[in-house]
Amino acid sequence: MRVIRVGTRKSQLARIQTDSVVAVLKALYPGLQFEIVAMSTTGDKILDTALSKIGEKSLFTKELEHALEKNEVDLVVHSLKDLPTVLPPGFTIGAICKRENPYDAVVFHPKFAGKTLETLPEKSVVGTSSLRRAAQLQRKFPHLEFKSIRGNLNTRLRKLDEFQEFGAIILAAAGLQRMGWQHRVGQILHPEECMYAVGQGALGVEVRAKDQDILDLVGVLHDPETLLRCIAERAFLRHLEGGCSVPVAVHTAMKDGQLYLTGGVWSLDGSDSMQETMQATICVTAQHEDGPEDDPQLVGITARNIPRQAQLAAENLGISLASLLLNKGAKNILDVARQLNDAH
């Protein structure tokens, strides 16, 4: 029986996410065996520094890509938001699975059960490892203080519950759902309060770009709507040259053949911001493809089973929205945010 080796981070959430993908693959390919290889990444090891300060794009992916390169694993399951918009040469995202809830969730200290961010006492400290969340929420809830909190989900929840430092912490709703911790969600943040990170809530499967066999194997996992939304989001972020050291956020929706993309940029304290919405017509009906392209990748993603025109339209939407913001002065907001983040 052929063995397919699947790389993953060691955290409980990463294992749960990887197991869910492997379960689907096992059902599709009963003749194959799947072996899970877990490893620690730089981001898992450096826990005393805010993510935005480490200054490394592939914090949670580098070691896994190294294993992929050395042929120690055949595919790697990631949270899509951890994958940079430009992948190292030789790699591609071969599948983007159906997105779960992309929103952010608030988990409150037990003593504040039943509260919302709005009703938390003055000067309460809210923990988040994300500049994007802190910038948006500071603007919306000026009575609160925001402080970095690191570690995997288990660690962060323990820090919240066992110490009196934080009144609440902000986490991705999808991660809490996958861990079975929905009961801890005290509030879901909607786009008008906090837009989400590019790719949030979706899982990406990274493979060797030239490994056609594995690309074919995982390609069936692509969820067309999630794929197109995430192409638009990633193209927006790439064109803005954003990463985790600047506050950039998005919101996307597909409705009646239209893809809607809202994107925004913020200063670190949220006082300065800019956001716009654009839409594009996306036709997802299959069309005849003339043959393989030389470089089928768009924003690091390969999806030969989804109409190319639809993918290009989604990418174009992201680029157009980024260009619109840049023309209106977004570059200045991002440059200042980058410099301030580097200086702190």
Q: The CATH number of the domain where 338 resides is what?
A: 3.30.160.40
Domain assignment of residue 119, yes or no: yes
Comparing 39-48, 86-95, 188-197, the range with the smallest average pLDDT is 39-48
pLDDT value at residue 152: 82
pLDDT value at residue 47: 46
The pLDDT confidence band at residue 1, using thresholds 50, 70 and 90, is: confident
What radius of gyration do the chain's Cα atoms show?
20
- Which residues is 301 bridged to in the sheet? 93, 298
At residue 196, φ and ψ (nearest 5 deg) are -90, 175
Residues 262 and 324 in one domain: yes
Predicted confidence (pLDDT) per residue in 41-59, tens digit: 655 554 455 545 445 455 5
Residues 133 and 244 in one domain: no
Residues 324 and 250 in one domain: yes
Residues 180 and 202 in one domain: no
Residues 184 and 213 in one domain: no
Residues 84 and 116 in one domain: no
- Looking at the predicted structure, is the pLDDT value of residue 246 above 70? yes
Q: Which of 257, 215, 261 lies closest to 234, judged by CA? A: 261
Residue 183: burial class (beta carbons within 10 Å; 0-12, 13-18, 19+) = exposed
pTM here is 0.91
Give percent above pLDDT 90 in the chain: 75
Comparing 135-139, 165-169, 282-286, 333-337, the range with the smallest average pLDDT is 282-286
Domain assignment of residue 193, yes or no: no
- Looking at the predicted structure, is the pLDDT value of residue 303 above 60? yes
Q: At what angle do helices 308-327 and 330-343 cross, to 10 degrees?
A: 80
Residues 24 and 60 in one domain: yes
Give the span between the Cα atoms of 322 and 326, in whole angstroms: 6
At residue 240, φ and ψ (nearest 5 deg) are -80, -10
Q: The CATH number of the domain where 122 resides is what?
A: 3.40.190.10
- Structure token pair of residue 150: 């690191």
Residue where a domain stops, chosen among 158, 188, 218: 188
Dihedral sign computed on CA atoms, order 79, 84, 90, 93: positive
82 tagged catalytic: yes
> If you count DSSP H runs as helices and E runs as strands, how many of each does the chain have, helices first?
11, 13
Q: How many domains does the structure of the chain reveal?
A: 2
- Which residues is 264 bridged to in the sheet? 249, 275
Residues 337 and 214 in one domain: yes
Q: How far is CA 279 from CA 229, 233, 237, 258, 323, in A?
A: 11, 12, 16, 6, 14
- What is the span of the domain harbouring residue 220? 3-101+198-343
Q: At what angle do helices 308-327 and 224-240 cross, to 10 degrees?
A: 30
Give the span between the Cα atoms of 312 and 259, in whole angstroms: 12
Domain assignment of residue 54, yes or no: yes
Give the span between the Cα atoms of 161 and 158, in whole angstroms: 5
The pLDDT confidence band at residue 150, using thresholds 50, 70 and 90, is: confident
Residues 232 and 306 in one domain: yes
Sheet containing 258-266: give its strands across: 248-255, 258-266, 273-281
Residues 79 and 171 in one domain: no
**What is the arithmetic mean of pLDDT over 65-74?**
92
Q: Average pLDDT over the chain, rounded to whole? A: 90
Domain assignment of residue 313, yes or no: yes
- Looking at the predicted structure, is the pLDDT value of residue 38 above 60? yes
The pLDDT confidence band at residue 337, using thresholds 50, 70 and 90, is: confident
**What is the arithmetic mean of pLDDT over 245-250?**
89
Residue where a domain stops, chosen among 188, 209, 227: 188
Domain assignment of residue 321, yes or no: yes
Domain assignment of residue 274, yes or no: yes
- Structure token pair of residue 158: 């323990």
pLDDT value at residue 291: 52
Comparing 48-57, 198-207, 241-250, the range with the smallest average pLDDT is 48-57
**What is the arithmetic mean of pLDDT over 239-247?**
77
Domain assignment of residue 224, yes or no: yes
Residue where a domain stops, chosen among 188, 209, 231: 188
Residues 220 and 332 in one domain: yes
Residues 95 and 129 in one domain: no
Active-site annotation holder among 44, 48, 74, 82: 82
Buried b or exposed e, range 285-315, using 16+ CB within 10 angstroms: eeeeeeeeeeebebbbbbbeebbeebbebbb
